[in-house]
């Protein structure tokens, strides 16, 4: 992981004298290397944190030896080592840090709950709404279809097929591809519309709209039909207000909401979402704590590093001390500590 300051020189023996620009040639090594165990540990730590890992992997793959410079794809199989370090090392690094933090937070939460007075019992719990199966022949038959397993599997296949068809959409599709996509979208739109209509008839509207997923499905169906109506008007050749084109684009974006219908069939995802919903307060507390840490570190960064030069200083007409600094040593105009806001953004970039 060594190289000559003159890119035209490959070996250490030839890296002497001056280059065509008159600068002395120097045999250098990369900032991150494996020359000794200390540098190696730092290298692995940075790699496990996934900070600029593609450049580090390219550096290792191109390395040849201590007395020769890099050669493109010299050790291609060495990429396996980098992938293992990123996967295994990153997993343990992130999991261990999060595990220790969550464990400490859980212990503190239990201790705080023991200090709080017990909550008062409600005087009377709200009775759940009990649904009576339909008594009429038509409603009963529709209800049996709506709750049957084959019908649920058919809807799941339609949802998965809709996801696949949506993935085929690209910029400047061919005419036949657009026709196939429109045909499938029309089929899925009417299929989901019929499913919502059957569900609305099988159960009473009050029972239907008490379920959030049913209300969400009805919203997606109505938006899909509205989008279809706007697209028909647009494709008919009639003059359309430019604002209506924006409305059509927005309605097209709502098509992606169909993919969320899979949550109804994927019970595991539903459980995960339920756990996340119950953990909202804990997540908010963690975010507030991280915001406090970023704020404190941002204030310290502004106090110590606000004087560092950025690239905007060299473009100004006023003579500045930053004109004496090499351009490669200047900070970016958006990644610096000139003020608290930019400092917190810089810390967020470093943490991710």
**Residue ranges of domains in the chain, CATH in brackets:** 2-90 (no CATH), 137-278 (1.20.120.350), 280-351 (no CATH)
Tokens at 285, concatenated: 């507390």
| Ranges of the chain with pLDDT below 50 | none
Phi first, then psi: what are they for 157, rounded to 5°? Answer: -65, -40
* pTM listed for this prediction: 0.50
Q: Is 335 helix (H, G, I), strand (E, B) or coil?
A: coil
Query: What is the pLDDT, as a whole number, of residue 249?
Result: 67
CA 15 from chain centre, in angstroms, equals: 45
Residue 18, number of CB atoms within 10 A of its CB: 10
List, for residues 2-51, the tens digit of each pLDDT value: 888 888 888 888 888 888 888 888 888 888 888 888 888 888 888 887 77
Ranges of H-type helices in the chain: 37-48, 53-62, 79-84, 90-115, 137-146, 149-167, 175-202, 205-210, 212-235, 242-253, 262-265, 267-278, 280-305, 312-315, 340-351
How high is the mean pLDDT of the chain?
A: 78
List, for residues 97-145, the tens digit of each pLDDT value: 777 777 777 777 777 666 656 656 655 555 555 566 677 788 888 888 8
């Amino acid at each position: 992981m060594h190289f000559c300051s003159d890119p035209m020189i490959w070996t250490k023996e030839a890296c002497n004298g001056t280059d065509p620009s008159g600068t002395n040639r120097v045999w250098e090594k990369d900032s991150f290397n494996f020359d000794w165990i200390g540098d190696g540990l730092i290298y692995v730590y940075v790699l496990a944190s996934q900070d600029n890992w593609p450049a580090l992997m390219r550096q290792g793959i191109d390395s040849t030896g201590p007395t020769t410079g890099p050669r493109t794809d010299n050790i291609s199989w060495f990429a396996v080592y980098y992938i293992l370090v990123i996967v295994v090392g990153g997993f343990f690094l992130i999991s261990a840090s999060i595990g220790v933090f969550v464990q400490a937070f859980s212990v503190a939460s239990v201790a705080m709950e023991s200090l709080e007075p017990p909550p008062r019992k409600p005087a009377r719990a709200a009775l759940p709404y009990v649904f009576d199966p339909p008594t009429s022949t038509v409603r009963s038959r529709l209800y049996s279809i709506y709750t049957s397993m084959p019908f649920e599997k058919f809807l799941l296949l339609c949802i998965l097929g809709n996801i696949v068809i949506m993935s085929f959409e690209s910029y400047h599709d061919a005419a036949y591809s657009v026709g196939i996509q429109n045909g499938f979208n029309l089929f899925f739109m009417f299929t989901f519309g019929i499913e919502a209509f059957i569900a609305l008839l099988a159960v009473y509207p009050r029972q239907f709209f008490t379920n959030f997923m049913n209300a969400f499905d009805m919203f997606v169906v109505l938006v899909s039909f509205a989008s279809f109506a706007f697209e028909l008007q647009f494709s008919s050749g009639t003059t359309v207000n430019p604002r209506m084109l924006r409305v059509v684009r927005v309605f097209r974006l709502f098509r992606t909401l169909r993919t969320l219908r899979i949550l109804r069939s994927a019970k595991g995802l539903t459980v995960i979402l339920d756990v996340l919903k119950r953990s909202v307060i804990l997540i908010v507390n963690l975010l507030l704590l991280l915001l406090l840490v970023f704020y404190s570190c941002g204030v310290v960064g502004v106090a110590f590093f606000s004087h560092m030069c950025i690239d905007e200083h060299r473009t100004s007409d006023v003579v500045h001390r930053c004109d004496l600094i090499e351009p490669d040593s200047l900070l970016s105009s958006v990644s610096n500590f000139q003020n608290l806001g930019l400092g917190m953004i810089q810390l967020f970039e470093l943490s991710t």
